[in-house]
Structure 1
Amino acid sequence: MPNPLPAQPPLRWDIFCRVIDNHGDAGVCWRLCFDLASRGQHVRLWIDDPSPLTWMAPQSAPGVAVHRWDCDFHLSDAVPGDVWIEAFGCELPDAFVAARQATPVWLNLEYLSAEPYVERMHRLPSPVMRGPGAGLTKWFFYPGFTERTGGLLREPDLMARRQGFDATRWLTSHGLPTDGRRITLFCYEPASLPKVMAQADAHWLVTPGRPARAVERIAQKAGQVHPLPWLTQYDFDHLLWASDFNAVRGEDSLVRALWAGQPFVWHIYPQDDDAHHAKLDAFLDWMDAPESMRAFHRHWNGIDTRDAGWPGWATVDGWRDCVLAARARLLAQPDLTEQLQRFVLEKR
Structure 2
Amino acid sequence: MSESNLSEIKEITVLCKVLDNFGDIGVVYRLCRSLSDVNGSLKLNLVVSDLETFKRMAQEINPELSFQTYRGWNIFDWNDAETCTKYFSENPPTVVLQTFQCGLPDWLDEIIYGEEFSASKKLCRIVNIEYLTAEKWAEDFHLLRGAARTASVRKYFFMPGFTPKTGGLILDKNFTECLKDKNYRKSKIESLTKSIPFSDEDFKILVFSYPKDFSFFFEAVNEFSQKSSRKIHVYVAPGAGLASFKKTESEYQKANFCVDYLPYLSQEAWDAFLCSMDFLFIRGEDSFARAALSGIPFLWNIYQQDEEFHLVKLKAFLDILNCPKINEISWLYNRNFGLECGPEAIDAWGNISECKNEADAQKKMAELLKAILFNLDGIKPAFRNFSKKTLDLGNLSEKLLDFLPLIK
Q: What TM-score comes out, normalization by structure 2 length?
A: 0.78
> 1:301 is matched with which residue: 312, 325, 334?
334
Match of 1:75 in 2: 85
Q: Which runs of 5 or more residues in structure 1 are unaligned? A: none
Query: Which residue in 2 is equivalent to 1:280?
Result: 314
Q: Does residue 113 of structure 1 match 2:112?
A: no
- State the secondary structure of the residue aligned to 1:213: helix
- Alignment correspondent of 1:260: 294
Aligned match of 1:216 = 246
1:104 pairs with 2:121: no
Distance 1:148 1:54 in 2: 34
The answer to whether the 8 Å contact 1:14/1:80 transfers is no
- Asked if 1:227 corresponds to 2:261, the answer is yes
Cα shift at 1:53? 2.1
* Segment drifting more, 200-209 vs 295-304: 295-304
The residue number in structure 2 matching 1:147 is 164
For the residue of structure 1 that corresponds to 2:97, the secondary structure is strand
1: CA distance, partners of 2:111 / 2:86: 10
* SS at 2:143 equivalent: coil
Distance 1:181 1:4, change over 3 A: farther
Q: Report the more deviating stretch, 141-150 or 201-210.
A: 201-210
Instruction: Say yes or no: does 1:311 pair with 2:343.
Output: no
- Work out whether 1:180 is the aligned partner of 2:240: no
Partner SS, residue 310 of structure 2: helix
Q: Is the 8 A contact 1:128 1:136 kept in 2?
A: yes
TM-superposed CA distance for 1:323, in Å, is: 1.0
More relative contact order, 1 or 2 (CA 8 Å, 6+ apart)? 2
What's the C-alpha RMSD, in Å, of the aligned pairs? 2.3
- CA deviation after TM superposition for structure 1 residue 157, in Å: 5.8
- Indicate which of 145, 148, 155 corresponds to 1:138: 155
Q: 1:315 to 1:80 in 2, by over 3 A?
A: farther
2-structure distance, mates of 1:335, 1:268: 24
How far the C-alpha of 1:65 sits from its partner, in A, is 1.5
Answering whether residue 371 of structure 2 is matched by residue 338 of structure 1, we say no
> Partner of 1:65 in structure 2?
74
Residues 293-322 of structure 1, C-alpha deviations (whole Å, 9 max, x = no match): 112211221275443112342323322211
Question: What secondary structure sits across from 1:21 in the alignment?
Answer: coil
Displacement of 1:226 after TM fit? 0.3
CA contact (8 A) 1:12 1:83 kept: yes
CA spacing shift, 1:157–1:249, aligned 2, 3 Å: closer
Structure-2 residue corresponding to 1:207? 237
Write the deviation string for residues 264-290 of structure 1: whole angstroms up to 9, x where unpaired. Answer: 11111111121111110100111112x
Which structure is higher in helix share? 2
> What is the match of residue 19 of structure 1?
18
How many Å apart are 1:156 and its aligned residue? 4.3
Instruction: Give 1 or 2 for the bigger CA radius of gyration.
Output: 2
Please tell me whether the aligned partners of residues 83 and 106 of structure 1 are also in contact (alpha carbons under 8 angstroms). yes
Q: Is the 8 A contact 1:47 1:66 kept in 2?
A: yes
What is the identity, as a one-letter code, of the residue corresponding to 2:387?
A: R
In the TM superposition, 1:313-332 aligns within 5 A as 313-332=373-392
Task: Give 1:158 shift.
Answer: 3.5
Q: The residue matched to 1:203 in structure 2 has which SS?
A: strand
Query: In 2, are the aligned partners of 1:19 and 1:48 still within 8 Å (CA)?
Result: yes
- Residues 191-247 of structure 1, C-alpha deviations (whole Å, 9 max, x = no match): 3x2121222133210111223211121111622210110011111111111111011
Judge which range, 313-322 or 199-208, deviates more: 313-322
Tell me the secondary structure at the aligned position of residue 28 of structure 1.
Answer: helix
Give aligned-pair identity as a percent: 28
Q: Which runs of 5+ in 2 are unaligned?
A: 62-69, 226-231, 337-352, 356-360
- 1:168/1:233 CA distance change after superposition, 3 Å: closer
Q: Aligned letter for 2:252? A: Q
What TM-score comes out, normalization by structure 1 length? 0.90
- 1:246 correspondence with 2:268: no
Counterparts in 2 of 1:254 and 1:22: CA distance versus 1, 3 Å: same
Structure 1 residue 159 corresponds to structure 2 residue 150: no
Query: In 1, Cα distance between the equivalents of 2:173 and 2:239?
Result: 31
1:51 is matched with which residue?
Answer: 52
Whether the aligned pair in 1 keeps the contact of 2:34 and 2:397 (CA below 8 Å) is yes
The one-letter amino acid of 2:241's match is P
| Deviation, structure 1 residue 51 | 1.1
Distance 2:319 2:155 in 1: 31
Aligned-residue offset at 1:134: 6.5
CA distance in structure 1 between the aligned counterparts of 2:4 and 2:217, rounded to whole angstroms: 47
Counterpart amino acid of 1:215? F
Retained in 2: the 8 A contact 1:58–1:232?
yes
Q: How many residues align?
A: 342
In 2 relative to 1, CA 227–160 (structure 1 residues): closer, same or farther, beyond 3 Å? closer
